[in-house]
Structure 1
Amino acid sequence: MQPPSPSRPASISSRAYTPSPISPGPGTLASNGNVKITYTLAQSIQSSPHFAVLLESLRSRVQPLRNLHWKPSAGTLPSSSIRTIQSVDAELVPLDLGLSSARLSAVDGFGGDGTARSQIPGTVLAKPFINLWLGMCEDADMYKNVVRRQLKDWVASVTTQSKRDQEWLVVLVTMSSPGQDAAGSGGKRLFQMKGSIIDRMRADFTLAKRDRQVPRPYRSHRLTNSTISRCVQLNYVTGGQDDPAAWTELIAKIKDAIITTLDSRVAERIDDVRRTEAQRAVPGWNFCTFFVLKESVAESFEGMTLLDAALLQYSELEASFYQVLKEKNLSWFGKLGGTAPGDDAAPLLSVTKKPYRDLIMSNNISVFDFRCYLVARQCLLLAKMGAIADVANKAVGFIIDECDGWLEAGGAQESLSDTKGTNYNAAKCELLELSRAQLDKLGIRAGHLPRAVPFSTSLPDRETKSRHSATTYDPHAAVLDPNSEEHRRISRLGITNADLLEAIDSVAAFDNLYKRLIMRSVETCQSSGRSRTAMQLQGILAALHLHRGDISSAQSIYAKLPAAYANQHWDLLQGYMLSQHLETSNALEETPSEESIIRALALLKVDLLSSQQAQHDVFSTRTQQTLQSVLQASSNLSSPLQVQDFSPVDLKLTSPIARLDDSRDGSFLDIVAASRLPEAMEVNYIKVTFKGRNGVHAIFEHSAANLSPGNSPLSLFCPDPVSGLLAVSEFEYQISGLLFRVTPPESQKPVSSTKVSLAEARVNIRVPEDKQAARVTMEMPRHVILGDQRVLFKVYTGRNILRSGRMIVESSSGQIKYNIASAKVLSDSCGSINCTHGAVSIEDLPAGYELVLSVPFSGSPRNDELEATLNFEYTTVTQPEVTRTIKHNSRSYVGLPLIVNINDKFRDQRLFTNVIVHSANQELIRVAKVTLLNNPDSKLAVKQCTRSPVPVPVRPSRPAPWLFQIQSSDTNQLPTGETLKLKIAYRSLREDLDSILDGATELQNGPLNTQHKQKALRDSAGNALLNDSRWLDMLELLHQSPKSDPSTWAKQLVDNAPIKLDFDSVLNAIKGMREIDADSQLDTSNERSRWRTVTMPFDVPLMNIINRVRVIPQLSPGTLVYAGQPLDVIVTIEACFHWSGSTEDAGATYLMRYDMLSDMDSGWLINGPKRGEYITQDKSTYTLNLTLMPLRHGVLSLPVISAEPGDDSSGRRPSCETWQSDGAQKITVLPRNSTSTYTIAMPIPVM
């Protein structure tokens, strides 16, 4: 096998491999993870019966030790941040001063005397980290004479050169029982004595920093104090009542000692590694020795559960190894390896497969085995860290780089974990894919699989392989006879796995293994979100079924794959799967069905797209074959098969504006039909449907045509006289028995109608209005009668001689009901017109005829806007076989542009009515006349105040009044309640400006302006003129001067207009307005009248009592009135019951109350009965005398007197109106220069 590429580390490939379970080797130092703590028991504590319990309690508290915080020394690790060791077990072992040194040297590679270094370094965990001395002493003399000497000897023994990196600690144990009274005097004395002993110990065995026996390069950064306390007191309570707080100081000291020892040892070991690595250029340097030394650092970190730091060491070792490979210096390795028996099926990621450490130390390990060991150690650490996905990724890279020539068994190995994480499943998917690729090679070698796609894609490239010998297998060699012995030998060459050997010998075993591997790979890919890889594997499984002749199973798989590839937009693969699905389906079906035609159309759709992208002959050939089969099968169908999502013909507009046919109703639409089919096709018809506003639609159609490959120009025709802006709704065409129907999507942004096809977006077209075509409209009548709601429906025949027609009127909202059966024909009688309950039927109407129908309706239009949908179908004499349709959604404003206010004043036997006409909705109107009409048998006579015959302009801020007088024709006959008719003739000012606006619009119009734009320009010009008050004043003066020169006025209107006007149009408009004004006084009810009229009912009001009040001053002619001078007046109240409405009411009597209204502001002081009651009847007069005194000088109005009916519970309250005949009379009061005194009689009124 070839050596791996030295240019890069192991990387992730598109193939995958499932590794065997990772298992660390037994007895590995790093796997132990125990920190050794030695202890020495003094004779005093050994004689205590509680020392065993004490020792066990200490052991339970150090197994494990938690949360050790280590800040590595500078240069130890790349990051100097604090590392937390979550948990580490400590092992308590006794210190044997005579034998421990030799035992430890054998384990850790140090000489017994500490002078010689071994060539096989171990981890820093093998030697003890800390040495403890545990003893008891209660007597100061005993400590001075015996214990202190023993401690000095012990300290000297644990601080030798071989133990220079170990910490030591003296623990003074004080034992007490739970019942002991520590508060007594004896207890105090004992406490003080023990306290003095621990103080003496600290004084004797506390070292300064400079006295500590640690080499300077490895001194811990934790030695921050000037002295190091190595003596700890432990207050141990016997009897099972151990206090955890008593151990706090001791455990803290132990932790700190462990961290200090760890820091110094790691720093020393890393320094050794760096020193060794720096000697790489020195002759005799050995990479394997360097590897073992650096690995000891990694194992030390692993034992302290610093897994990330350990992984970093192996990553650096891997980088060094690739550097060695790059330099091609492989003298420390035995051979490339990978060809030993069992290497093809052994668990590659197991560190116990071979004695890797022995092979490394003896320089006999192969490159392959070394990489296996290195990757296995890295994966073991990743697995301990829980990074299962990283383990799989690491294994993938290793297998791809190192084992590409192997034939691995897929499915015979277990997964690393049941983790459902996406990353893990993705890496696992690559491992399984790599296994499948190797199994493809095995199947092709054994003859179980054909050397064809998709199985042959796993074979390596021919040019990248080296020369093969008789002992190797050439994957590109010719396949031997499956029954020959040579074929059996070649197929089993280099394979020792039992499952693989069984699969080689048996097709059924091979298929079972292959299918299980495929299904497992599919599930893993789906879990990791690799849907495309899962679909590829399912296609390979279908190919295996097809190769074995299981067409049904292959067809069931191929049926699902095209839709999945379509969602992923893989057109080439979708086409391949569709072709396979079609072939397998046809093999199972005897006669073609609609389902088979649909499958063939799906393949045809993909092949047409693929042929444009790839430009390959294979697509063209397959397309022709598929097309012929589809056309042949569809021609036998009983009805056309609708195809919704595929169109081999694209339609594109040549122009966004339709062409009118001047000889008939309808329009043409020019398109280009682009056929993607490889040969000419006969199309039965092409139909494009457009939709407009309010449900209007139009169909442009072309009869049978022969479409060649490429572009074919066509002209579609729509016979319906539609106009305006239309959008494509759908288009359809039929080829043989296939009906293709395409609905374009909604476009998110405006698109050009001629740059995109009709299938890509809903493009718009504009159909010009045909002035000569038939049309239907709805309008408001020019003569409106309130109480009789009617609307006009007009049918204009245009250029056509209508043979027959039928119009249906509908209300879109359902609020309005049209009574078609009661319609009146207002136009000249012609042809046959039949109005029924549901429709209007017409026959034989000539060209240019306008049918006007006045149709009553019921209901209340919303916002005074009447809406109706007019559906009109008609045929013409020239084309009786063509039925044309007009659907017109019409809206008509039925509100009046004026408001009428009526003010009635009763004066004796006469009624004065003031009719005030206001403009509504800011509308400018001109009122020609207002008349009040009575019935022929009316008993009332109506007279109108004479006005000028010139129409009166009415603006929102300037209403116009008309005054009428109503009285009885016979003065002796009482009037009764009658209803007259108020008729108002008016005309909107905008109607007068039509010709002017037409001229202004033509000045701004271009040849391509649309109908919609023309209307917008017209409205804009009209608003500009009507909003200019100065221009309107000039127009009003024009109407008031009917005999002035029109040319002069036309020039003034053009020069002062806010917009550009055409002089001729203005001059013609002035002449037309004068003709209209001349007809303003004519009474016409024809719909062709130029003036509109509105007729409304006028109810003549009645009044029971009409009071006429007179205030008569008693002054001689020429008498002057001065301020403060009394003035006698006579007040008379005359009653009139003429307008009571009946003889019975005219003869009644009523109780009345009068009141003279006066205050200080009026200037009069009233003396007399200013308020009182009286009885009144028809033509009666009530008189009273009053005295008025002017309080100030000036012109004063006479006081106002009101009279109202009094409260009468016997009947209803009569209506009453009081008017003062001398209300306009005033009295001049002169100022007085002197003061005079008058005596005024004060009569007592009789109540």
Structure 2
Amino acid sequence: MPKTTIAYFDPLGVFAEIKDELKSKLPLVNLHWNPPSRPLRSIPSLDVELVEESAVTQAAPKHQMLGISSSPYLKLMFVKCEDSETYKSSIRAMIREWLNNNVGSIRDPTEWLIIHYVPSGGKISSGNRFKSSAFDKIRADFNSGSKKDRCIQIRREYSSELEYMEVWSEAMTRIKEAVLEAFGRRVDLYEEEVNKIEAKKNVLGWNFGTFFVMKEGLARSFENISLYEDALVLYDELETAFTTTTNLKTVSYFVSSIGFDYKDAPPLSLLEVEADSQWRHQIMSNEISLFDFHSYLFARQARLLLQIAANSSTPSIAALRIGELYLRLRTFLTEMQGLLQENRKNRFMVAEWTYNVVNEFLHETSWVKDGLSQQVSEGRGELILLSRKALETLAYPRGWKIEGVLAEISLDDDGDDGDGEEKVYTPSSDEITKFIESSQVFYERYRELTIAASAQFELADRIRTVNRLSAQLALLDYQLGNYEKAYAQLENIPSLYSRQGWDLITASLLSVHVQCLVKLGKNDSILLQALELICHYKYLSPTEIETLATFIQEYSNTVPASMPIDRIFRTSVVPYVNEPSLGKYSVTVEVRGLIESEFQFDDATLTLHNIHHEAEKLVLRAKSPKISGKGKVLIECTSNKFVRGQFQVNSLVLSRNKLSLVKNFDEDPIIIEFFALPSSLWAKVRISDSCKLPGRELVVELHPPTETDEKIESCKVSLTSLTPGMKLADKNTNTPEVSVQAGVEVTTSEVSTIPFSFFAESDLQKIKTRATVSFTTSKGVFQHVFVDEVDIALAIDVTVHDFFRLSKLFSKFLIVCKKSEPVRIWSTKLNGSQDFKITETVDENDSVAFPGGAVSRVYSIAPTDSAKSSSESLELCINHCYVKDECAAVVWDELERRLQEHDLSRYTNLVRTLAASFQYDTYSYALKGRFRILPSSAKAVPKTSIFDYVAPDDRANILALLTQLVEEEFTEKPLATSKQLIIPVPLPDVYVVHQVEMTLPEADHFVIGDTISAKIKITTKETWATKGLDYDLPSSYVYEVVSSENWAFSGKRRNTFNCNEDNEFGVSLVPLRTGKIPLPKIDIYAAGRQSQPKMEIDYRNAGETALVVPEFGRLTINF
């Protein structure tokens, strides 16, 4: 590397006396350059080369152009003289001549200093204050007109060590300042010249070479002063400038040719190029080739990076710069190889040059330890691979090549060897010749380089590259017949490439792996690898595919294996349910092969789960499916189990022995509605048409199959509660939640009904049940499951009011709606018994109970002569239905008829779920006898999800039927839809009935304040007491006229009377107010008892009033 040059002129032999002292102070340390326009630069150490002036002058003539010349930064002149006379006579003239000839004639800015040496015994000063010393004379003559002190005095002897250190410290400081001064001036001068040249780059005839040399001179100035980073920046700018001007096609005349025209051998070194000054002269004169220019420029950049790394403060920082160097070197070699190949240069010579350059840089940077930086490890690995590729190229003419999909290939190689290129190239390098002298040596060297590169990439954490190199080693072993080693290395590598999407490489490696397994006889592993390989059928030949298909089927019984179906088949599930035979439901799966081979499987299994209850599964199977080539195959998967509801397809499995091909549908869910076909056996759970409180009953409605000759040999129905708070059977029995009815007879013509008693908590409005129908035919055992939601809420509420008379009881029943839906009351009946006679007081006609209103029924109840008990209960039977149920029945009858007419009856039960959601104008029907489906329901028809489960050919027809239906008006009357509610009506527990009547004198009115004589008549009977029982009834009672603000009393208000006698008492009343005044109330209670018997009072005057007027002739006015 160039050093900072300091020239000295020593005509008097001074340098020999101070040489040792001066060199001991070198190199210069702690220099600080702080120009106005740049940040501070610190130079820890600066190597200096001392050159005697005579040696410089005797050298070859220097190029005087800036950037080419290499003049010193500092010139020193050593002189000595002991007196002024000697100085005046000879020394002064000698100094002036030196300044004129050796300093003033240099174009590059250069500083100079005069060092006056005082030998032993010499005089330091004149000793006379009025007489100057020789050194003073020198300073006076050569410092005049200058602000700088260019004169330094060094003595042989010093009075103390301190004085010695001070003198030399000052001398070295002056030298450092002079060097930095000259450097700063050169930088300014070069920058000024560079800017001038660059400003003319658009002028015709602009010379890039001149610009390059000038700017390189600036870069070398930084380099000479050890500012390598700044020098590297300038070289990078030169590279950018060259690239820019090349793209603009303005430097075509700069280079003389492409270059690389070597006759025998390429250069062994790239770094030595930068030390040869001829390259700069060729650049200046536009005589350099393009290859040589790139080589020179990169060599300069590389040398600077090496210097920066060598002078780094820590090994880690040095490693980072070496990593950068490696990256630049790879880019440079790639570009040069492309340039030379494009220009048809001898590719074997290019390979040898590449090999030499890589080895040179690996050698130059070998001092950097492995593992310090990922960039270094990665760079070394890449360079080793470049070296390996070069070696492969050189071995190729000898027939030694690496086979396989991962073999290195040249994208620029068109198969032509180029002009003058020999088929067998003889390298000039003994090292290369040794490595390609035989196939064994070449393959071993290839392996060594691959292992070395892999080690570097492993340090760099380039796992993918390590895997690629391992795969290459495996392919090499396979090529050389080392099948065991190749098998071991390829065990995991193909899967790594598969995950990265390199399918062609994966297929090739797997193919080699399978071949290794076959050659080694590892049958247990062939199946798994063959499955993996056949997935890459696009990269396999038909013969290879057929062989793999044979392997898969032949070895399917060796080990358990699984693979996604979609790797070699395309599958789709047809989302519609079929019933190929009684009790057997099926779903069709379409399978289309992606390869031409034929596959025979043991069975196909389709698994589904209930979307509302994932634990419930449906499994459908097909036996011995066969898939032939790329044609479409329909596989009908069937099951003897049917569950009504919506199911999502989970998976499809094609199995053969221990092999399973699986497809999961989680990412692309398919929903299938399983609905019963009306021609099959199906069931429905509903509330019983007759409800006798407090008991409740559900009915499983079992519809027989209608289009089959199969006979159901046995049938069992079980019902399960799915609602908390609801139990089957009576509430007082500890029965399980499942109630079973065995031995159900199923006919072919009638709907069977199987009752199930249940108990539900009072707040439950709806319950969910699961009816399971298990039946047997000659073709097997079947199980069908039907889940229903049942509305168990009563439609009506009934209240009763009782009115007792001596011989009969009047009961008034009020019937009201429990919901916001009107209810039609078809009929009511109060059932009597042998002890009571029931008479209805009004005619029975159907009527409608609207929300907020009530329907009343009144019955007269009289005990018969033979009545023995009054404690028994009667039964009130009410036949009723929701008005909306009437509407629904009308609509459904019409819809079912139209479905049959259009041959769409198979969708009856599916459409039924939609019809159940319709809302109707029930008030219009209840009042006028006609109704329509509400618009909200009509608008929802096209958006309903049921069409997703209807075959495409039938969707339009069903939609048309429904659209037409929802727009019509209906006036028909439905068939019987009545439900019966039976309510127990217990008679009141009454032992005694008192009939009380108060009679007043016959008069139109009474005068206020006048006494009125009234009579109280009381009749008592024990008609309602159960005969034959001793109730310990009292024999006498007390009546009492209740005080009132309307009446005053005269006489007895309270009196005792006997039971079972007609009693009459008198009482005087005085009206206290005018108007229609209610008659006073009379209470009766048993005399002398704390506990009163159960009795009722029939007060005949209830609601009667007396007209009281003021006294005639008197009028009172209140103010």
Q: What is the TM-score with the length of structure 2 in the denominator?
A: 0.65
1:957 corresponds to? 852
Q: 2:920 aligns with which of 992, 1008, 1024?
A: 1024
* Alignment match, 1:571: 503
Instruction: State the distance in 2 between where 1:966 and 1:490 align.
Output: 132
CA pair 704-1012 structure 1, distance change in 2 beyond 3 A = same
**Partner SS for 1:949:** coil
**Aligned partners of 2:231, 2:1050: CA distance in 1, in Å?**
124
Q: Does 1:603 align with 2:497?
A: no
RMSD: 6.2
Give me the whole-angstrom Cα distance separating, in 2, the residues matched to 1:668 and 1:746: 21
Query: Which residue of 2 is the match for residue 275 of structure 1?
Result: 196
Equivalent residues of 2:545, 2:597 under 8 A apart: no
Question: What displacement does 1:461 show?
Answer: 1.9
Change (3 A) 1:715 1:968: same
Question: Secondary structure, in 3 states, of the residue corresponding to 1:863?
Answer: coil
Amino acid in structure 1 at the alignment position of 2:895: T
Give the Å deviation of 1:1033: 0.3
| Aligned residue in 1 for 2:413 | 461
Contact 1:344 1:494 survives alignment (8 Å): no
**CA distance, structure 2, for counterparts of residue 620 and residue 566 of structure 1:** 21
Q: CA-to-partner distance for each residue in 1:759-808, whole Å, 9 max, x for gaps?
A: xx554566775333222333322222224343223434324421233444
Instruction: Note the 1:735-1134 alignment, pairs <5 A.
Output: 737=657, 740-747=660-667, 761-763=668-670, 769-799=676-706, 800-812=710-722, 818=728, 839-842=740-743, 846-857=747-758, 860=761, 863-876=764-777, 880-905=778-803, 911-933=809-831, 941=836, 943-966=838-861, 969=864, 977-994=871-888, 996-998=890-892, 1001=895, 1010-1011=907-908, 1014-1015=911-912, 1018-1019=915-916, 1023-1026=919-922, 1029-1035=923-929, 1060-1061=967-968, 1066-1067=971-972, 1069=973, 1072=975, 1091-1102=978-989, 1117-1121=1003-1007
How far is the alpha carbon of 1:448 from its aligned partner? 8.1
Pair 605,289 (structure 1): closer, same or farther in 2 beyond 3 Å? closer
1:1197/1:89 CA distance change after superposition, 3 Å: farther
**Post-superposition CA distance 1:186-219 (Å, at most 9, x none):** xxxxxxxxxxxxxxxxxxxxxxxxxxxxxxxxxx
Alpha-carbon deviation of 1:627? 1.7
Q: Is the 8 A contact 2:531 2:552 kept in 1?
A: yes
Partner of 2:298: 371
Residues 537-557 of structure 1, C-alpha deviations (whole Å, 9 max, x = no match): 331132244345553443233
Name the counterpart of 2:1103.
1224
1:63-101 CA-partner distances (Å, limit 9, x unpaired): 8999x9x995xxxxxxxxxx876989999xxxxxxxxxx
Secondary structure of the equivalent of 1:802?
coil
Instruction: Write the mapping of 1:268-307 to structure 2, written as runs, cut at 5 A.
Output: 269-278=190-199, 281=205, 286=210, 289-295=213-219
CA contact (8 A) 2:606 2:637 kept: no
Contact in 2 for aligned 1:786/1:1095 (Cα 8 Å):
yes
Tell me how far apart the structure 1 counterparts of residues 1015 and 3 of structure 2 sit (CA, whole Å): 140
Give percent identity, aligned residues only: 14
State the alpha-carbon separation in 2 of the partners of residues 112 and 356 from structure 1.
32
Alignment of 1:682-721 (within 5 A): 682=600, 688=606, 704=624, 707-712=627-632, 714=634, 716=636, 718=638
Amino acid at match of 1:291: K
After superposition, give the CA deviation of every residue in 1:941-975 in whole Å (9 maximum; x if it has no partner). 353432323222222232212224456556998x6
Q: Conserved in 1, the CA contact under 8 Å of 2:435 and 2:442?
A: no
The aligned runs of 1:438-587 (5 Å cut-off) are 438=390, 440-441=392-393, 450=402, 454-457=406-409, 461=413, 463=415, 466-467=418-419, 477=424, 490=427, 492-493=429-430, 511-524=447-460, 526=462, 532-547=464-479, 549-587=481-519
Q: 1:424 to 1:1211 in 2, by over 3 A?
A: farther
Whether contact under 8 Å (1:1137, 1:1145) holds in the other structure is no
Counterpart among 1138, 1146, 1164 of residue 1033 in structure 2: 1146
| Deviation (angstroms), 1:647 | 6.2
AA partner of residue 1018 (structure 1): A
- Measure, in 2, the Cα distance between the counterparts of 1:676 and 1:398: 47
Question: Is the contact made by 1:919 and 1:956 (CA closer than 8 Å) also made in structure 2?
Answer: yes
Q: Which runs of 5 or more residues in structure 2 are unaligned?
A: 6-28, 47-69, 77-97, 114-137, 151-179, 338-349, 932-963
Q: CA deviation at 1:397?
A: 1.7
Instruction: Tell me if the contact between 2:722 and 2:767 (Cα under 8 Å) persists in the aligned partners.
Output: no
Distance in 2 (alpha carbons) for counterparts of 1:981 and 1:1154: 39
Check 1:658–1:983 CA distance in 2 against 1; reply closer, same or farther (3 A cut).
closer
Shift of 1:622: 0.9
Shift of 1:997: 0.8
Change (3 A) 1:1205 1:456: farther
Cα separation, partners in 2 of 1:337 and 1:1062, compared to 1, 3 Å: same
Q: In structure 2, the residue corresponding to 1:1146 is in which secondary structure?
A: coil
For 2:457 and 2:912, the matched residues in 1 are separated by 69
CA distance in 2, matches of 1:301, 1:908: 138
Query: Are residues 1099 and 1031 of structure 1, via their aligned partners in 2, closer, same or farther at CA, if it must alter by over 3 Å?
Result: closer
Map 1:330-345; keep pairs closer than 5 Å: none
For 2:506, the aligned partner's letter is Q
8 Å contact kept, 2:183–2:221? no
CA shift for structure 1 position 709: 2.2
Q: Does 1:437 align with 2:389?
A: yes
- Highest RCO, 1 vs 2 (Cα 8 Å, sep ≥ 6): 1
Distance in 1 (CA, whole Å) between partners of 2:415 and 2:491 is 38
Distance 1:972 1:978, change over 3 A: closer
Report the CA distance between 1:1019 and its aligned residue.
3.9
- Give the deviation of 1:563 after TM superposition: 2.2
**1:1013 to 1:318, Cα distance in 2 relative to 1, 3 A:** same
Question: 1:475-531, CA deviations, whole angstroms, 9 ceiling, x for partnerless residues?
Answer: x749xxxxxxxxxx74944769x99999996976763443131132245353xxxx6
3-state SS, counterpart of residue 576 of structure 1:
helix
Q: Is the 8 A contact 2:402 2:476 kept in 1?
A: no
Counterpart of 1:998, as a letter, is: W
Distance 2:416 2:689 in 1: 97
Unaligned runs of 5+ in 1: 1-24, 30-61, 73-82, 92-103, 129-152, 167-258, 479-488, 612-617, 748-760, 824-834, 1038-1056, 1077-1089, 1159-1163, 1239-1247
Q: Which residue of 1 aligns with 2:332?
A: 398
Which whole-Å CA distance do the structure 2 matches of 1:743 and 1:1205 have between them?
89
Match of 1:678 among 566, 590, 596: 596
Residue of structure 1 equivalent to 2:236: 315
Amino acid at match of 2:596: P
Aligned equivalents of 1:625, 1:579: Cα separation in 2:
11
Secondary structure of 1:916's counterpart equals: strand
Using structure 1 for the length normalisation, give the TM-score: 0.59
